[in-house]
């Protein structure tokens, strides 16, 4: 299927690894001009992908990223707000609503909500100049599955879902589609790195990292597929959503979670 992305200009945040890297590579392979942003560039990004080193906790970063896209390619057609999860230096999971303090809450919302709001604020004028565009915000199943684990993270993503829906209503008539993708647990660095989620859960359960990833986490989260989601599975859905072939899809939340969410 031709996704009709050739020549379109895409910004992807959090593109150094995991979902963001998979999205950046997929859009590039589909013919888009990609501006990838993260704190550091990874060797896994294709050489022709433009990388902008930025920390999205910096309120000035979004304007610089959009300006670089306009400078290199003349505008912006696509924005994928993937950066999120644990703020820099933070390890999740955190158990208990009393565990995160005020600073933890502020950092979580800064990274998972406010940085997205600022990216949208910077990109929308450039999209409107080209007659429209497509925005995909990467949320989480945790936004609709309240839990005492990572309560601040879930709350920030729930707020992101609300903002995404509001943006779709505001800008849909002006040609900008806004959708949300909500992954479940994805096999990324968040889980697999030393001291990451798998190690934290292993310490709590008296298990080892490999068994947590292969068996314990899917069982604990009641994943119907019996495994964690692969980043490419998220990237494929994002690519479809930003494609003109999804021209009537806006204000939607697409869940790619291995069966994590059970409600109707």
Please list the active-site residues: 153
C-alpha 100/C-alpha 104 separation (Å) is: 5
Please list, in sequence order, all residues whose beta carbon lies within 8 angstroms of the beta carbon of residue 225, skipping any fewer than 6 positions away: 218, 258, 259
Q: Based on C-alpha coordinates, what's the Rg of the chain? A: 18
Contact 138, 231 (CB under 8 A): no
Please list, in sequence order, all residues whose beta carbon lies within 8 angstroms of the beta carbon of residue 183, skipping any fewer than 6 positions away: 19, 138, 139, 140, 141, 229, 234, 256, 257
Contact 32, 39 (CB under 8 A): no
Contact 49, 43 (CB under 8 A): no
C-alpha 233/C-alpha 194 separation (Å) is: 24
C-alpha 205/C-alpha 232 separation (Å) is: 29
């Amino acid at each position: 299927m031709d996704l009709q992305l050739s020549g379109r200009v895409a910004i992807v945040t959090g593109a150094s690894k995991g979902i963001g890297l998979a999205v950046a590579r997929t859009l590039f392979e589909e013919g888009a001009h990609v501006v990838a942003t993260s704190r550091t560039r990874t060797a896994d990004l294709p050489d022709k992908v433009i990388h902008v080193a930025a920390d999205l906790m910096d309120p000035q970063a979004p304007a610089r990223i959009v300006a670089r896209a306009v400078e290199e390619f003349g505008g912006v057609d696509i924005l994928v707000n993937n950066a999120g999860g644990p703020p820099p230096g933070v390890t999740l999971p955190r158990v208990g609503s009393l565990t995160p303090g005020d600073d933890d809450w502020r950092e979580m919302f800064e990274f998972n909500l406010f940085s997205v709001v600022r990216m949208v604020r910077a990109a929308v004028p450039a999209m409107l100049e080209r007659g429209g565009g497509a925005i995909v915000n990467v949320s989480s199943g945790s936004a609709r599955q309240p839990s005492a684990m990572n309560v601040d993270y879930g709350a920030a993503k729930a707020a992101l879902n609300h903002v995404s829906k509001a943006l779709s209503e505001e800008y849909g008539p002006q040609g900008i589609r806004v959708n949300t993708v909500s992954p479940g647990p994805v096999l990324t660095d968040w889980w697999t790195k030393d001291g990451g989620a798998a190690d934290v859960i292993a310490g709590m359960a008296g298990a080892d990292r490999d068994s947590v990833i292969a068996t314990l986490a899917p069982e604990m989260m009641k994943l119907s597929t019996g495994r964690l989601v692969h980043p490419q599975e998220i990237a494929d859905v994002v690519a479809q959503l930003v494609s003109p072939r999804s021209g009537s899809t806006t204000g939607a939340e697409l869940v790619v979670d291995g069966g994590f969410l059970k409600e109707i």
